[in-house]
Amino acid sequence: MRAYRQLRRKWVTQQGLTHWKRVYPEYDLRDAASDNPTLTMSYVTSPAATSYTALAPTLAETTDLKRVGRSFGPSGARGGKIVPMMVFKIAQTNPSSDTRIHSLQGEYEAVEESRLPQ
């Protein structure tokens, strides 16, 4: 996912760094028995990376569609991650009767060109 910035009257893709604050998975995870399924959401900041960083806490079973927020660090101007890209992975632990990921939304913005490291 890349950020966008406004250029006059249209939005253009930002090729620089992106400041990620939070990610919002919308999911439905049903438990048929007493297996207590969970979803673990993790991320990497490079397509070549193999070691994912898990976002805590895990996503618990539901009885209806649920949207939750997961943070990349303290909130505020200095919180989060400033990276060129994000790759997400969602892994399930224990069986479920039905697992549905409806959407994945992010709270992120392009870093101003004047604030990029030299």
CATH of the domain at 99: 2.60.120.260
Q: Which domain holds residue 32?
A: 14-113
How far lies 83's CA from each of 3, 17, 20, in Å? Answer: 11, 5, 8
Asked whether residue 111 carries a pLDDT value surpassing 80, the answer given is no
pLDDT in tens, 29-59: 999 889 999 999 999 998 889 899 999 999 9
Give 18 or 9, the one with higher predicted confidence.
18
Return d(Cα 118, Cα 105) in angstroms, integer.
30
Residue 83: closest CA among 98, 95, 71, 72 = 72
Written as one string, the DSSP assignment of 6-29 is: EETTEEEE--S-EEEEEEEEEEEE
Number of domains, the chain = 1
118 is a domain residue = no
41 is a domain residue = yes
73 is a domain residue = yes
82 is a domain residue = yes
